[in-house]
Amino acid sequence: MTIEGRDILKTVAREQSQQMRLCSAEMPEIVRIELSNTCNMSCPHCRHHSKEKRASENYSPYYRTPIHMSEKQVEDIFNEVAPYKPSVTLNVANEPLIAQTFDFAVKTVKKLGLAGTFNTNGILLNKDVSTLLVDTCFDSVTISIDAITAETLKKARGISSLDKLIDNVDILLSVRGNSVFPRVGITFVETDYNYHEIPDFLEFWKKRVDFIRINGFIKDLTPDVSMIPGIQREDMPKRIPCQQTFRDIVIRANGDVTPCVITAEQPSIIVGNIFKEGGVKAVWNNDHMNHIRKLHNTGRWDELPYCRQCDYWIETFSMKEEIKNGFLIRMPSPYTTFYNVLDRLDNWNRDLHDRQGVGRFQDVSVTKK
C-alpha cells in the first residue's frame, strides 16, 4: 500500500483523546440491498459462496434456494429511503447482474435521484448491461478481478479467463466513450498469494479505469487486521465503536436485515425484516438495532458475539489521503485503499458514502508527496 497501514494505525492512535460516541440518523446513510441471494461463481476466498462452503452441510438454507426481490419490493424500499438521499449499493453477498430486478433497480435508483454503486464479478458484463449503465448515468461500478495473471486469477476466483474479464471491462469503457458515467473501478482482494502483483495491477489498470480499490482479506466472520501484510496487532489503537450499525443498513433478498456487512456472512444473524415489520425506517430504529448501538457507545461490544473478535471497527476513523504517482489515494483503514486516477476525477460523486465519498465520520486531509 502507498499509505503504510502501520503509519495509519499510529495516526489513528494519536487522534484518540477520549472515548468516541457515534450517533445514527433517522435513516441510514448507506442502503445495501441484496437483489437476489445467489451468485454465478464460487470464488475460493468468498466468505459466502466458495465451493467449500457450498459443499458443506453448514451451508445456510438461505442460500440453497434462489430468492429474488420483486419489482414492487425494490420500488417500495427506494421510495421510502429516497427523501433521505442515502447512497445505494446493489449487492451484499450476491452477484447483482443475475438478479431478475437488476435493470429495474438501476433505473429506479437514478429516477429517484439517488447515488448508486455495485460490485460485480464481471462475467455477465456485456454491451446491454453497459448501455443500461451509461444511459441511466449510473454513478459507479466496480469489477472484482484480484489478479494480473491467469494463474493467480485461478487461485482467487476459480477461473483463468483473465482476458475475457479485461475484454468485458473494455466493452463498458467503449460504450461509455466520452460520457461521464458510470465511474468504473477494479477491485483486488489482497491475500498471501497475490499481494506481490499489486504494483503491476495498479500500473495496468491505471491506464484503463477511473480507480482501483485494494481490499484486505477478511477472515470468516472475524476480520483480523493482522492478516494484512505489514500490519501487526500491537500497532492497533484502542478500540472504539464501529460505524457500521450507525451508518449502513444491510438488507437481504428476503427482507431480513443483518447488523453489518460482516454479519451478512451468516444469514441467521437477523435484527428485523423490512417486509414484515413496517419498512426500512422501522427496522433501522428498532430496539434490536438501538441495543447494538448502545453496547458499542458504552464500550460493551464484547457482549455481541459477532463483534467480540472483529477488527472492522478500524474503518470508523478519519479518511487519510495523499497524492502520489498519478493517484489520489484514499485510505479509511488498512482494509481499504482507493487509488483514484488523478486525471479521471470528473465523475467522482462524493455522495457515494460507500467509502468513496465523504461520510459523516470522515475528516479528510490531503498530504502531497
Per-residue pLDDT reduced to its tens digit, 213-269: 998 777 666 777 777 777 777 777 888 999 999 999 999 999 999 999 889 888 889
Percent of the chain with pLDDT over 90: 56
344: nearest Cα among 212, 213, 203, 211:
211
Query: What's at 269, amino acid-wise?
Result: I
Counted residue by residue, the chain has a size of: 369
Mean pLDDT, the chain, whole residue set: 85
- With cut-offs at 50, 70 and 90, classify the pLDDT of residue 62: confident
Mind spelling out the 3-state secondary structure of 154-191?
Answer: HHHHCCCCHHHHHHHHHHHHHHHCCCCCCEEEEEEEEC
**Does residue 104 have a pLDDT over 90?**
yes
Contact indicator for 132, 172 with CB cutoff of 8 Å: no
The grid coordinates of residue 304 equal 455481541
3-state secondary structure of 46: coil
**Does residue 7 have a pLDDT over 60?**
no
6-18 burial by CB neighbour count: b if 16+ within 10 A, else e?
eebbeebeeeeee
Determine the pLDDT at residue 49.
61
Determine the pLDDT at residue 362.
38
How far apart, in whole angstroms, are the C-alpha atoms of residue 291 and residue 109? 31
The grid coordinates of residue 75 equal 420500488
- With cut-offs at 50, 70 and 90, classify the pLDDT of residue 369: very low
**Does residue 40 have a pLDDT over 80?**
no
How far apart, in whole angstroms, are the C-alpha atoms of residue 97 and residue 36? 9
Determine the pLDDT at residue 161.
86
- With cut-offs at 50, 70 and 90, classify the pLDDT of residue 365: very low
**Does residue 292 have a pLDDT over 90?**
yes
185 compared with 335, residue with greater pLDDT: 185
Beta-carbon contacts of 182 under 8 Å, excluding residues fewer than 6 positions away, are: 133, 134, 137, 138, 139, 140, 141, 172, 176, 347
